């Protein structure tokens, strides 16, 4: 949350210095703040319409399945690769530190806990923000500027139900599943990296790693990733559907979808970790 | 639902719309009878396309009244507005086909959502609609694989899918070569005779409009500058009307 005032100040300062001349920063800061409040206001109205459209029948199950495929299965290789890389790096870095402190035996548990509780969810959230956020922002933005969304409304089809609700629900369903894949690849590659330095059987590695894990340890990360999915879906659909200004606007929407959904995923992570620690200790 | 008693399908009174400080429509009043085709002419940026979007409820007016099939659309909720929209077909300027769907799926889109047709019935209906516009050989193609004129034909088939009573055309011949533009114009005349629908056609094409419209309305600076048949407007002494028709005839 500390980053937001810094961003406001940076944007205000760059606006005030635009054109090489120092302009009065007060109206620039005021316009920027009005823009920020307008954005949140529009987001609130967008969410209200989204909830209404998502909850009232008929439901677009066919389109939901198509979006689950587009968001889930097509993100799978990238998420698996990112998870595997995290596992390798975590194993190499942590091993070095634990050896120094004479706690090498804890390595499997550290890798498993770290990946399941934090690294897996946040890496998956950020990867999906990049791949899916850009895709949704650009697709909906392009549909907006080419009047396809207007055409849908003119056909008496609610675009919030057909385009937005399906994408948001697909994100909520797919991000936790992708996180499971990312975790699996991370733990597997963590073991592989570890066993290359000091051979250990996979079974023993997993037994040591999961020995102290309880069922309640799995619930918060799953809830967290579902919230990441909700955040990515809402922010990127919102940025896409409010696109203005032709192809340039589509580019802006794609970029802002990625930037804002990544930023909100990180903010959500901070808030959720605090909440999880309060609730589950 | 058909409101058979009413003579007018569209009644617009004192319609006003502004974007920021720019007044686009300033007190427009217009009526369209059943089976009548009205061409709306005017300079680019004169509010013609905005007028169509106001009629179908895609934008909200700042003032005035819009009645479509005896329903005041400015006062309808979303569900009621959608019921009215099912009775209107809209052909967009760039056709606005869904680029992730094939030609066939584009036309089937409104049918699959608003009718209880079986797959076979829907497929037959799509074939029939595409045959009407001469596009029944390109069912499996994507919109990006067909020309602008063909996209407009498919857009027209999609607009006709729910058998609407009213058709709104936004620049149906803009950006097309003269032959394709004439073909689209002929298509509008053919559909008008076959389906007896009311239509509002926004266009710059004065002579094309003469071929398919019963009446013309010329917009200028947010107001109606002239109204009547092609001959009425061509004989007008108003400077803007004379200028518009002299350039339009070149």
Which residues face B215 on adjacent strands? Answer: B38
| Complex prediction ipTM | 0.89
Is it the case that residue B117 has pLDDT exceeding 70?
Answer: yes
Instruction: Band the pLDDT of A220: cuts 50, 70, 90.
Output: confident
Instruction: Give the contacts of A125 (CB within 8 A, at least 6 positions apart).
Output: A175, A225, A228, A232, A265, A269
Closest by alpha carbon to B37, among B195, B176, B243, B175? B195
Is it the case that residue A158 has pLDDT exceeding 60?
Answer: yes
Average pLDDT over all residues of chain A: 88
Rounded to the nearest angstrom, the minimum Cα separation between A154 and chain B is: 6
Which residues face B30 on adjacent strands? Answer: B12
Rounded to the nearest angstrom, the minimum Cα separation between B233 and chain A is: 32
Q: Are B27 and B223 within 8 A, CB to CB?
A: yes
Q: Does A69 touch chain B (CB under 8 A)?
A: no
Nearest to A151 among B83, B96, B114 (CB): B96
Is it the case that residue B28 has pLDDT exceeding 50?
Answer: yes
Q: What is the pLDDT of residue A15?
A: 46
Residue pLDDT, tens place only, B61-91 = 999 999 998 899 999 998 899 999 999 999 9
Give the chain B residue nearest A143 (alpha carbons): B98
Burial class (CB in 10 A: 0-12, 13-18, 19+), B35: middle
CA A257 to chain centroid: 11
Q: Are A120 and A220 within 8 A, CB to CB?
A: no
The pLDDT of B114-119, averaged and rounded, is: 91
Instruction: Give the contacts of A69 (CB within 8 A, at least 6 positions apart).
Output: none
Q: Are A25 and A12 within 8 A, CB to CB?
A: yes
Q: Are B228 and B68 within 8 A, CB to CB?
A: no
- How far apart CA A15 and CA B92 sit, in angstroms, is 39
Q: Is the dihedral of CA A47, A51, A53, A59 positive or negative?
A: positive
The pLDDT of A33-62, averaged and rounded, is: 92
Q: HSE on the CB side for A185, CA within 13 Å?
A: 23
Average pLDDT over all residues of chain B: 88
Q: Is B161 helix (H, G, I), strand (E, B) or coil?
A: coil
A23 vs A206: which has the higher pLDDT: A206
The pLDDT of A240-258, averaged and rounded, is: 92
Q: What is the pLDDT of residue A3?
A: 44
B36-45+88-248: CATH topology is Rossmann fold (3.40.50)
The pLDDT of A131-136, averaged and rounded, is: 94
Q: Does A154 touch chain B (CB under 8 A)?
A: yes
Rounded to the nearest angstrom, the minimum Cα separation between B184 and chain A is: 20
Task: Name the token pair of A117.
Answer: 């509780």
B188 vs A182: which has the higher pLDDT: A182
**Best to test chain A binding among B73, B90, B129, B142 (most A CBs inside 10 Å):** B90
The pLDDT of B45-60, averaged and rounded, is: 92
Q: What is the pLDDT of residue A218?
A: 86
Residues of A in contact with B82 (CB under 8 A): 156, 158
Q: Is B175 helix (H, G, I), strand (E, B) or coil?
A: coil
Instruction: Give the contacts of A127 (CB within 8 A, at least 6 positions apart).
Output: A75, A78, A79, A82, A182
Q: Are B132 and B157 within 8 A, CB to CB?
A: yes
- How far apart CA A117 and CA A43 sit, in angstroms, is 30
Q: Is B160 helix (H, G, I), strand (E, B) or coil?
A: helix
Task: Name the token pair of A148.
Answer: 């396809």
Indicate the helix (H) or strand (E) that contains B9: strand B8-19
Q: Do B83 and A156 touch (CB under 8 A)?
A: yes
Indicate the helix (H) or strand (E) that contains B65: strand B63-68
Is it the case that residue A17 has pLDDT exceeding 70?
Answer: no
Rounded to the nearest angstrom, the minimum Cα separation between B107 and chain A is: 11
Indicate the helix (H) or strand (E) that contains B153: helix B148-160
Q: Do A146 and B94 touch (CB under 8 A)?
A: yes
């Amino acid at each position: 949350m500390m980053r937001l005032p810094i961003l406001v100040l940076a944007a205000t300062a760059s606006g005030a210095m635009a054109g090489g001349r120092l302009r009065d920063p007060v109206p620039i800061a005021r316009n920027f703040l009005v823009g920020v409040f307008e954005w949140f206001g529009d987001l609130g109205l967008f969410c209200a319409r989204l909830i209404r459209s998502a909850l009232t029948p008929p439901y677009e199950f066919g389109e939901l399945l198509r979006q689950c495929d587009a968001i889930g299965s097509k993100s799978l290789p990238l998420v698996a690769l990112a998870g595997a890389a995290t596992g390798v790096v975590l194993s190499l870095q942590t091993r070095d530190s634990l050896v120094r402190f004479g706690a090498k035996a804890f390595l499997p548990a550290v890798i498993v806990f770290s990946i399941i509780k934090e690294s897996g969810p946040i890496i998956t959230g950020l990867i999906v923000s990049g791949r899916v956020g850009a895709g949704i922002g650009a697709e909906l933005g392009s549909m907006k500027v080419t009047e396809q969304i207007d055409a849908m409304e003119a056909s008496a089809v609610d675009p919030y139900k057909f385009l937005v609700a399906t994408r948001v629900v697909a994100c909520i369903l797919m991000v936790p599943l992708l996180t499971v894949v990312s975790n699996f690849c991370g733990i597997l590659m963590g073991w592989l990296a570890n066993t290359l330095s000091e051979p250990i059987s996979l079974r023993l590695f997993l037994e040591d790693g999961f020995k102290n894990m309880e069922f309640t340890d799995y619930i918060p990360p799953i809830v967290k990733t579902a919230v990441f999915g909700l955040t990515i879906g809402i922010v990127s659909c919102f940025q896409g559907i409010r696109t203005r200004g032709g192809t340039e606007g589509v580019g802006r929407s794609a970029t802002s979808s990625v930037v804002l959904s990544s930023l909100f995923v990180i903010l959500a992570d901070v808030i959720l970790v605090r909440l999880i620690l309060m609730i589950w200790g | 639902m058909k409101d058979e008693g009413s003579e007018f399908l569209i009644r617009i009174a004192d319609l006003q719309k502004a974007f920021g400080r720019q007044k686009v429509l300033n007190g427009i009043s217009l009526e369209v009878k059943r089976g009548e085709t009205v061409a709306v002419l005017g300079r680019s940026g004169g509010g013609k396309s905005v007028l169509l979007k106001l009629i179908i409820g895609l934008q909200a007016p700042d003032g005035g009244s819009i009645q479509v099939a005896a329903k005041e659309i400015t006062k309808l909720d979303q569900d009621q507005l959608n019921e009215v929209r099912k009775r209107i077909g809209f052909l967009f300027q760039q056709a606005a086909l869904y680029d992730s769907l094939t030609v066939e799926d584009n036309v089937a889109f409104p049918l699959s959502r608003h009718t209880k047709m079986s797959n076979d019935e829907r497929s037959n209906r799509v074939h029939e609609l595409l045959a009407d516009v001469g596009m029944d050989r390109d069912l499996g193609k994507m919109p990006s694989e067909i020309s602008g004129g063909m996209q407009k034909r498919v857009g027209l088939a999609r607009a006709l899918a729910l058998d609407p009573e009213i058709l709104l055309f936004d620049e149906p011949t803009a950006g097309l070569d003269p032959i394709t533009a004439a073909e689209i114009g002929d298509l509008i005349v053919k559909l008008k005779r076959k389906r007896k629908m009311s239509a509002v056609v926004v266009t710059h094409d004065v002579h094309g409009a003469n071929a398919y419209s019963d009446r013309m309305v010329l917009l200028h600076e947010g107001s109606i500058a002239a109204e009547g048949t092609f001959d009425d407007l061509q004989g007008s002494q108003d400077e803007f009307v004379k200028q518009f028709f002299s350039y339009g005839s070149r």
